[in-house]
Amino acid sequence: MRAYAKFLTNPETCPYLHDRPSRLEVRLAVKVTPEEHSAELASGARHFGKSYFRPACPDCSECISLRVPVRTFLPSRSQRRVLRKNRDVELELGEPALDAERLDLYRRFHDDREQRRGWLPSPMDFEGYFSSFIDNPVLTHEFRYRLDGVLIGIAYVDESRHALNSIFAYHGPEYSRRSLGTFDILSEIEVAASRGKSYLYLGYYVAGCPSMEYKRDFRPYELLVDGNWKPFEE
pLDDT digits (tens, 9 = 90+) for 15-53: 899 899 999 999 999 889 999 999 999 999 999 999 999
Predicted confidence at residue 27, as pLDDT, reads 95
Euclidean distance between CA atoms 92 and 169, whole angstroms: 14
> pTM for this structure?
0.94
Q: How distant, in Å, are the alpha carbons of 11, 142, 216 from that of 25?
A: 11, 26, 26
Q: Where is mean pLDDT largest: 27-36, 166-175, 203-212?
A: 166-175
Split at pLDDT 50, 70, 90, the class of 229 is very high
pLDDT for residue 10 is more than 70: yes
DSSP for 170-198 reads: EE-GGGGGG-HHHHHHHHHHHHHHHTT-S
pLDDT for residue 207 is more than 70: yes
Question: ω before 69 within 30° of 0 (cis)?
Answer: no
Predicted confidence at residue 76, as pLDDT, reads 96
For domain 62-232, the question of CATH label 3.40.50.300 is answered with no
Q: Do β-strands 163-171 and 199-205 pair in parallel, antiparallel, or remain unpaired?
A: parallel
Task: Single out the residue of 213, 214, 168, 209 nearest to residue 16, CA to CA.
Answer: 209
| Lowest-pLDDT range of 62-76, 83-97, 108-122 | 108-122
